[in-house]
Amino acid sequence: MKNYIFMTVLVASLSVSCGKKQETKQVEVEEILAVEVQPVMRKSLSESIIASGILSSKSEMKLAFKTGGMIRRIYVQEGQSVREGQLLAELDLSEIDAQVRQAKLGLEKSERDLVRVQKLYADEATTLTNVQDATTGFDVAKQSVQVAEFNQKLSRIYAPTSGRILRKISEQGELITPFSPAFILGTGESAYIVNVGLADRDVVKVKIGDIATIYLDAYPNEVFQARITQIAQTVNPATGTFEAELQLQPKGKKLISGFVAKAEISTGKGASTLVVPIESLVEADKNTAYVYTLNTNNQTVSKTSITIGSIFGTSVAIISGISEGTQIVTKGAVFLSDKSKVKISPNSNN
């Protein structure tokens, strides 16, 4: 009986001992964390210029009446596709048609006057000056008819090309002034722009070709790339800013004119400095922080104090505490401590 009890205790002890060893091995395995690393690099950083604007189609056309008056009829709605030459809207032509008739009546009278004066001149009953005056009056009357007919034609809006009505600005029955846009016609979907206003201290920092990042409220999780294509050389008196045009890459997304956009323009004019990704910092406090540097000989990390400068987007300038080329942990740093063992993820940029 005693032997049986002794054997039972021995087996139990061995089981507990084996369990502890397995548990210890498991803990050791769990402590070896997979991290991503990359070397400290030197870059030229600059403060991004932040501006806002409205997205619009590069190929937009503003369509307007040449003359003013009351809009008699609008034949299209916003979002409607139209073909080239299609009638979009027309004014009440009562006054304009009367002007055409008046001009034609004036032409008929001047023609009769010219014929009468020419007969009198042939009979030597009038002077050459009278004939010349009558000829001039006839020519002026012809030009008046052409002007009246031209205005009559431009009292209707026809689609100059096929496209889509992006915006209907005026309504039927509304009084409109000459050259006030009644429609905005989009003739293409491939090119979009964002016009932003820059202060004088910012416009001197940018140039055509500078890269910008665009954020749209319609796509909060998407980032769009753009470039500066135009920079105004005079101030906009209405806003007191200089307008810059950024051409946007749609990335296959459905874009609509009028989307609110925020732009971060990179000028690329900063001084060269050491930088680390912002996600590599731990325990940051004002201008000091820590990073984990990789000890390649035994695959451990050391907690290193550094002095940081300004933040540029996702990068942080380093003033002191680390040298160029040092391998630092960029992902997984928050789970580490000094002397932690790590294994390098294949996604590392080392």
What is the maximum span of the chain, computed from C-alpha positions, in angstroms?
163
Contacts with 275 (C-beta within 8 Å, 6 or more apart), sequence order: 40, 41, 42, 43, 45, 312, 315, 316, 317, 318
Residue 61 has pLDDT above 90, yes or no: no
The Cα 21–Cα 252 span in angstroms is 56
pLDDT of residue 267: 76
Domain ranges of the chain: 33-44+272-344, 49-59+189-265, 60-91+162-187, 94-154
- Let me know if domain 94-154 sits in CATH 3.40.50.360: no
The average pLDDT across 195-218 equals: 90
Token code pair at residue 224: 């769009």
Kindly indicate the confidence band of residue 109, based on its pLDDT and cuts at 50, 70 and 90. very high
Per the model's pLDDT, the better-predicted residue between 94 and 13 turns out to be 94
Query: pLDDT digit string (tens) for 283-298?
Result: 888 889 999 999 878 7
Range from 30-39, 185-194, 204-213 carrying the lowest mean pLDDT: 185-194
Confidence at 270, pLDDT banded by 50, 70, 90: low
Strand, helix or coil for residue 32: coil
- Nearest 5 degrees, angle CA 258-CA 264-CA 267? 135
Predicted confidence at residue 310, as pLDDT, reads 79
Is residue 15 predicted with pLDDT exceeding 60?
Answer: no
At 241-259, the pLDDT tens digits run 999 999 887 777 888 878 8
Is 90 exceeded by the pLDDT of residue 108? yes
Helix (H, G, I), strand (E, B) or coil at 127: coil
Question: What's the pLDDT score for residue 190?
Answer: 57
- Torsion on CA atoms 122, 125, 127, 131, rounded to nearest 10: -50
φ/ψ bin of 222: left (φ > 0), alpha (ψ from -120 to 50), beta (otherwise): beta
Collapsing DSSP to helix, strand or coil, 65 comes out as coil
pLDDT at 22 over 70: no
Q: What's the CATH superfamily of 49-59+189-265?
A: Efflux pump adaptor protein, beta barrel domain (2.40.30.170)
In a 3-state reduction of DSSP, which class is residue 308? strand
Task: Kindly report, residue by residue over 149-199, the tens digit of the pLDDT.
Answer: 999 999 999 999 888 888 899 999 999 999 999 998 887 655 788 999 999
Q: Are 271 and 309 in contact (CB under 8 A)?
A: no
Q: What is the CATH number of domain 33-44+272-344?
A: 2.40.420.20
Continuous segment of H or E residues that includes residue 301 = strand 300-312
pLDDT above 70: percentage of residues in the chain: 87
Q: Write the class of the CATH domain 60-91+162-187.
A: mainly beta
Q: Is 38 exposed, middle or buried (0-12, 13-18, 19+ CB in 10 A)?
A: middle
Determine the Cα–Cα distance for residues 161 and 196; give it in Å rounded to an integer: 28
Mean pLDDT (the chain) is 84
| pLDDT tens per residue across span 313-347 | 678 889 999 999 899 998 888 888 888 888 888 77
**Spatial distance between the Cα atoms of 60 and 188, rounded to a whole number of angstroms:** 8
C-alpha separations of 236 from 114, 184, 240, 245 in Å: 53, 22, 5, 13
Please tell me the predicted confidence (pLDDT) of residue 7: 44
Under the banding of pLDDT at 50, 70 and 90, the label for residue 60 is confident
The predicted structure's pLDDT at residue 28: 47
**228: nearest Cα among 271, 267, 261, 189:** 267
